[in-house]
Amino acid sequence: MPKDRLNSPRFHALLHAAKGLFTAQGYAATPVSAIVKAAGVAQGTFYLYFDSKQGVLAELRRQVFHDYEGTLQSVLSTDYPADEAMARVIVAMADAVQRNLELERVFRHAESAEATLLAAREGRSRLADVAAERIAQGHTAGLMQVKSPHWTARFLITLYDHVIYEALEYDADATHEVVAECVRFGLSALRADPVRIEQLVAQHHNWRPNE
């Protein structure tokens, strides 16, 4: 495959076409021939960039994960106290899931349960490595009390991955309430100060994703 495929207009045209078709009519109902037709390229061009339709799905998943990782990094690299940073992560990640909701739906229906689980597990592990560092800093600063920052981060990210997606997908009207409870539960699990927790829960409605 071309080493510079990320800079190729045809590569991005294929991805854009596949994303539109996968979200509109489903992964299983979209053949490669439909993707190349929508992208306006020859069938052989597809195989210059992807081994198969599964390869397109994997690239779309990689891009979604990159969005999540970038969101997490941008919040955790701020100067906010660790407890506020973790609360803001929850709010920002809920917004990121909302941005990617259509593709998240495709991922969950396109692959076997085991494939979805393994891909999600790998992604969560990498995100947890980033979050664990900030949790450890919060513990050192006396804002949180945890024995294992790594496993605490894994637990919280896995929980939120399920809860926030399910709220957006099946109970969208309750999303704001769910996010507030995620902030409250997460900071409680980190044994942050109860008064401080309620202050952050009250403030979270006013936060913007890119602040």
Q: Which two tokens stand for residue 151?
A: 């496993």
- Dump pLDDT digits (tens) for 82-132: 999 999 999 999 999 999 999 999 988 886 656 666 777 788 888 899 899
Asked if residues 72 and 89 have their Cβ atoms less than 8 Å apart, the reply is: yes
Report the C-alpha gap between 187 and 185 in whole angstroms.
6
Longest dimension (CA), the chain: 62
CATH 1.10.10.60 matches 5-49: yes
- Dump pLDDT digits (tens) for 60-81: 999 999 999 999 999 988 899 9
Residues in Cβ contact with 160 at an 8 Å cutoff, skipping those fewer than 6 apart: 90, 93, 94, 182, 186
pLDDT of residue 120: 74
Say which DSSP state 42 is in: -
Report the C-alpha gap between 165 and 148 in whole angstroms.
26
Task: For the domain made up of 57-206, give the CATH fold.
Answer: Tetracycline Repressor; domain 2 (1.10.357)
- Dump pLDDT digits (tens) for 181-196: 999 999 999 999 999 9
Minimal CA–CA distance to 65: which of 127, 9, 114? 127
pLDDT of residue 126: 87
Report the C-alpha gap between 18 and 50 in whole angstroms.
12
Report the C-alpha gap between 19 and 103 in whole angstroms.
7
What residue spans in the chain does CATH classification 1.10.357.10 cover?
57-206
Share of the chain above pLDDT 70, in %: 94
What residue spans in the chain does CATH classification 1.10.10.60 cover?
5-49
